[in-house]
Structure 1
Amino acid sequence: MHYLIGSKLKVYNQNKLHKRLRRQVGEAIADYNMIEEGDRIMVCLSGGKDSYTLLDILINLKLSAPVNFELIAVNLDQKQPGFPEHILPEYLTKLGIEYKIVEENTYGIVKEKIPEGKTTCSLCSRLRRGILYRTATELGATKIALGHHRDDILETLFLNMFYGGKMKAMPPKLMNDTGEHIIIRPLAYCKEKDIEKYAEIKQFPIIPCNLCGSQPNLQRQVIKEMLKEWDKKFPGRIETMFTATQNIVPSHLCDTKLFDFKAIKKGDNVINGGDIAFDKEEFTAASFDASGIDEQDIILWKEVN
């Protein structure tokens, strides 16, 4: 009896997870108009959990989408030693989806150009990007779908803030650097931990990246660990931070290119609530909980209010 109850609960949770990911992908697509009638979407499939999940959810959404679109999965075989070339063709053939495996020896180029022990990610990504853009043109793709999720977007935001002096992240939709292709990220609203669970449930044939997998001290890894620690200690903080990326107030930052501070004159209308430097910030106790502010901060907040 307990086994049956446990089994049903497991199936219920799995279905719930699938519906959540499906809903979040659908919302992102709608919010940013990612997919339109007649689109041919090139889904970049690396063999990792994120791109497998992206392809799986898009195939599922295609069945009931209000617009007609095509999917073609593309994998770049970078000729890494020991790369299991049979896995993706077998998986994609079983799915019955159109696909293309592009073979380019970027591994050899990276190993030749980058000294042993140095980070290979930058050159590797540039080479990969160029090949995938060329492939999208050859295939007549109208959009290129990447498997970056919500955590990737936040990691990029902090990387740019900490190391680049910019407030910049990964957009859910944007033109690529050559101006030829529209890049979309349908997993933009999805949590990495949900994707990890989903990949385990679906038992995707994960292919590890041996080229950069041995470089644990990358700056992105440091940021990733920081965000994971915050998420563990302060539930809700990550959600609040991501919401902040959707609620930008240029007049209350410092970028003169985004807001014309010089044009402000006495007698002008109040902009975005005006400046409240002499007032106390208005935050509710609930907002502290959502942000992950600890109990002592809430006590202090109550005392000063």
Structure 2
Amino acid sequence: MQKLLSKMRQAINDFDLIQDGDKIAVGLSGGKDSLTLLHLLNSYKNFSPQKFELIAITLNPGEVDNSPLHTLCEELNVPFYEIQTEIKKIVFDIRKEKNPCSLCANLRRGALNDNAEKLGCNKVALGHHKDDALETLMLSMFYEGRINCFSPKTIMDKNNLTLIRPMVYITEESIKNITKKYNYPVIKNPCPADGKTKREDIKILIKDLNNKIPNLKKNLFGCLNNSDQLFIWDKNLIK
């Protein structure tokens, strides 16, 4: 736990993620990542130089038993809000999406941000980690032809919210280990597309390449923090 808290504190300091007076909503899906984020932020409050409030918001896509999350938040003394939605019905029954991830993500993001704002929050914390960043970078390069990744901090003008990702320096393996060690109440992902996505393919590819190329993951992550040595073929500059 201390090692993960140290990594999270480093990210908070590097990217100026939390300020005094913040009211932060944790997007609590019930997966290992969001559960770890909630525990880390709740522990970080005890020694943080910034004083901030913390709540948890869970979006129920339909017919999911989230009672373990209610119990957990009560034990942690974190205010908990479960929002009932029809996201599953819209994506799979009404729209019948063959590639549902993009629409689902947009619907979830919109619902989370809207409810966070209604509850008086100025920030939303998401559970993306270091491996998520690497996968997003490679997905963008391979499928979109651009070098792009989510940011540790994104200001959302539409909602007067700031999205923060305090776990960007923490590996997925560390999250798996702490989830198992402390027996976090993981809610099984009800999505029919779970484990059958392009992201899952990229995850497997990165793992395979990392076994063949020394320091592959370390160097990939270094690219995201090495803006001084970024060089792409800018036709106007090259001319």
Mark yes or no: TM-score above 0.5.
Answer: yes
Cα offset for 1:20?
1.5
Deviating beyond 6 angstroms after TM superposition, the runs of 4 or more aligned structure 1 residues are none
Residues 262-297 of structure 1: per-residue CA shift (max 9 Å, x gap): 6x8xxxxxxxxxxxxxxxxxxxxxxxxxxxxxxxxx
CA RMSD of aligned residues (A): 1.9
Asked if 1:202 corresponds to 2:178, the answer is no
Find the structure with the greater CA-based Rg: 1
The 3-state SS of whatever aligns with 1:63 is coil
Q: Which letter maps to 1:238?
A: K
Is 1:46 matched up with 2:29?
yes
1:248 aligns with 2:227: yes
1:98 aligns to what? 79
Which amino acid is 1:87 matched to?
P
Q: What is the correspondence of 1:56-205 to structure 2 with a 5 Å cutoff? A: 56-80=39-63, 83-115=64-96, 118-176=98-156, 178=158, 180-205=160-185
User: How many residues are paired up?
Assistant: 239
Do 2:135 and 2:203's aligned partners in 1 also have CA atoms closer than 8 Å? yes
Aligned pair partner of 1:227 in 206, 212, 225: 206
**How far 1:36 sits from its partner (Å)?**
0.2
Comparing both chains, which one has the higher relative contact order based on Cα–Cα distances under 8 Å and sequence gaps of 6 or more?
2
Q: Distance in 2 between matches of 1:113 and 1:178?
A: 27
Give the direction of change, closer, same or farther, for the CA distance of 1:33–1:112 in structure 2 (3 Å limit).
same
1:134 to partner: Cα distance: 0.7
Distance 1:77 1:53 in 2: 19
Offset at 1:241? 1.2
Question: What TM-score, normalized to structure 2?
Answer: 0.93
The residue type equivalent to 2:46 in the other structure is L
SS of the equivalent of 1:47 reads: coil
1:238 maps to what in 2? 217
Structure 2: gaps of 5 or more residues: none
What residue ranges of structure 1 are gaps of 5+ in the alignment?
1-17, 265-305
Give a deviation string over 1:89-147, Cα, whole Å, max 9, x none: 1111122111211111211111223337x232122111111111111110111111000
CA contact (8 A) 2:117 2:159 kept: no
Q: Identity percentage over the alignment?
A: 35
**Does the CA-based 8 Å contact 2:114-2:159 persist in structure 1?**
no
Cα distance in 1 for partners of 2:159, 2:122 equals 12
Corresponding position of 2:237: 261
Q: State the 1:78 CA deviation.
A: 1.3
Q: Is the 8 A contact 1:44 1:147 kept in 2?
A: yes
Distance 2:12 2:158 in 1: 23
Which amino acid in 1 is paired with 2:217? I
State the SS of the aligned residue for 2:191: coil
Task: After TM superposition, give the deviation of residue 216 of structure 1 in Å.
Answer: 3.4
